[in-house]
Structure 1
């Protein structure tokens, strides 16, 4: 049956194909359908092209806006850079002005004190008097150690410890011992000046130190010199904090039969002094030490078994060390005389203690001698051979309100 239907369908198809009118009509309908579909596609293509053109225009506009923003950014960056450079110049100028002002104030105060002292008649008595507490001998344990070892042992017995540096005690003791070889005065902040003087007096003399409080307007340098000339360790208070440079300059020389320690309460006060002060007074690295006096009760201090004298370094060794410091720290702009004392202390400390690295012995002194500016602290921090020495400078910066960033 299916075969008959197929044959009938084929006869119909052949008849329709042979009919020209029907064939033309079919072609016409197919053409109309094709043209309709083509028109729809063209319309869709036109719409897509419009969208592409719109997107391209938007992209061009965005690129132009990006270019404008980049130009503004570059311009602002250039302006910020110029402003930062101007600010840096202003800050540097301001720092220099402040340093000059502080130095001038300190120098003026010192000169006024010297002038008052010069105008004081011979034999005249000052309206204010010294507060003196003389030292006396004490029982000490006799140990066969070098002076640095005795000093470290005594400091530990007195409750002094390293607060932020593992070699703080050793470096502080080495600096003090090195300065003893030069017979020049020492300066250090309270409260550490007290245990340091106590430890040193016990090690050298089996005694306690003499304590001298100098009033702010005291002018009788002869009275102070008379006490300081006596053998022993002498702690002088009130001179640095009051910027009494008349007394300070008069006492800043070699003391062959005694040890002189100027104590001060504020690093800011020490920085008010003329920079020339530190040409003849040494500041050991003790800013990273802490004193816990309650740990010192009932502990007997140690004194030297034999001769504890320290050989003064030779002239050539000192000058060579000073020249090396000048080459390494030229950015500190320290004069040649300002480098002689730290160089002598470094050489003497090496001879007495075997201190191969002198940075931890003299870094804090150089910081104060250079004004303890942020730039000076950064230079000295880079100069130190490892991170341990930087701890003293960081502590000093914190005390002066200078952050390490």
Structure 2
């Protein structure tokens, strides 16, 4: 257990926060710090063909140790962390033999991780949890996945009696800003299929995800002295407020679940002369997804008709539901399911209320379901991961490799 704890903490204490406002890849130079470290570590444990390209995409090979002709499989995780919350000076706390009670993350600030609010905590009584200190995110999304892949490869190298085919691993930057797969070289990776280790709760196995787009609304106003503004002032802030009021109030993340889609406003800023709104659009159903984009445009058109053409709307597709690409090769999901059952885990097969690199990779020719990495409450100060879940994820990776070989004639 200590080995996986040490590796994980070593990764999460390196700040790798990505930045959506940047046009570079990776979007922040600090991502190179962990990327370069991973390259050296992969070489140290005995991986071969370890490469890192000019955009910090890492690939490595564990060669086959069988004479069988076995399909090449891959495992992929991202090493950046979310820009939604600070990832600087992460100070992990280790809670051994968790008793099911409140965890004081930060006594001075009164920050408590409580099962009365986060009831998933009660699934992990008597286990070892790694939490934040209440001032940063943890980075289990997805440094838990990185930890698990490296640890699983190290285990296979040290246990050559476990027969497996060729295995490829890949680590990507900028997943948290929707670009993780943009410059991933699928042909170079050379796998028949892959798995992202980027899910949450132990047992999660996902091959459906949201269709996703981002939207930016820009409103230009006219500032005039308020004492003489009648018929002249155009207040961009108020038009932005009216735009938000036209969105369906019940179709937001905090009021939806399962396959229900939503609009999520995540940034707004404004002055009289200029206001901007940034939001994301999500829906599992492609027809409803397209309708959501149409509805946003309809709101923009309505307000432009009402106030004059002061408002512009830009919508960009981000990724699509991988289900269409995975279902024709559904045996890859069944293989992961069997691996979980073999190591004592009950699979939880459900749609992702989000996206992974795998959703884009599936459309790039690399079918790529998603497997749990074990963390909870991503992108904030209440993030935590049970060490036992990470250990089980390592076991699942190893078992997938073993079963893939055993089931090949």
TM > 0.5 fold call: no
Select the structure that is richer in helix: 1
Instruction: Compute the TM-score of the two structures, normalised by the length of structure 1.
Output: 0.27
Rg comparison, structure with higher value: 1
Higher RCO (CA < 8 A, seq sep 6+): 2
